[in-house]
Chains A and B, each alone.
Chain A
């Protein structure tokens, strides 16, 4: 079974530029999560999708961050414009509630550096 795929793995941009990350969850997983992990901290949930719909985006900075999940499969997370404090690893995870007790499986992450 293929794992969660993310791209790109690394990205360096200047502040005020825009950037987009892509995630392909495990096949059949209805729930998809985006987490932000700042250096030295644990991951923090940004947004959770159940199929196409948003379940929780309470910690998403909506003035600059946006995310979508078209057709209930792949997802993109966008930052526009980026700030220095957005430097972090962005992790995508997926889960299938009917199996594995809702265990979340994580992708390798995208490391973003904003200069």
Chain B
């Protein structure tokens, strides 16, 4: 059974700091991994999707890496801004299926 763990559970940083969010998963037989952002009272917004054959994806100030063999992914946020404050969730999709298994998320607060 796939289990996804995110560390830390919460993070508070001053504006402008670079930060890293961690995600680990127990079963390396994945099709892809996604990072989502969730604002209070809102749905999920997809940030980055990494296929199992890829090592990383970048979008603006965000960079996500994937090490499938070790069951780890990181989301790097450069030059953080107060608008980045949200909950960040990672989810993995297993080979041969569509189901996403989510971690519990990291609550990020960027202080101005």
Interface residues on B, range: 20 to 34
Chain B residues contacting A109 (CB-CB under 8 Å) are 42-43
Which residues of A, 21-44, contact B by the 8 Å Cβ criterion?
31, 33, 40-44
A14 within 8 Å of B by Cβ? no
**Alpha-carbon separation in the docked complex, A87 to B46 (Å):** 25
CB of B10, distance to nearest CB on chain A (Å): 11
**Alpha-carbon separation in the docked complex, A76 to B34 (Å):** 26
Which residues of A, 7-58, contact B by the 8 Å Cβ criterion?
31, 33, 40-45, 48, 55-56
Query: Quick one: which of A43, A48, A55 contacts B102, CB cutoff 8 A?
Result: A43
Chain A residues contacting B36 (CB-CB under 8 Å) are 106
Chain B residues contacting A103 (CB-CB under 8 Å) are 34, 46, 49
Inter-chain CB contacts under 8 Å: number: 60
Chain A residues contacting B103 (CB-CB under 8 Å) are 42
**Alpha-carbon separation in the docked complex, A95 to B93 (Å):** 13
> Dominant SS at the B interface?
strand
Contact with A along B84-112 (1 / 0, CB 8 A): 00000101010001111111110000000
Chain B residues contacting A43 (CB-CB under 8 Å) are 44, 89, 91, 100, 102
**Alpha-carbon separation in the docked complex, A86 to B79 (Å):** 39
What is the number of residues of chain A that contact chain B, defined by CB distance less than 8 Å? 27
CB of B105, distance to nearest CB on chain A (Å): 6
Chain A residues contacting B63 (CB-CB under 8 Å) are none
A102 touches B93 (CB 8 A): yes
B81 within 8 Å of A by Cβ? no
**6 further A-B pairs in the complex, CB-CB below 8 A; given A91-B44, A104-B46:** A4-B43, A33-B98, A43-B100, A44-B102, A93-B44, A104-B34
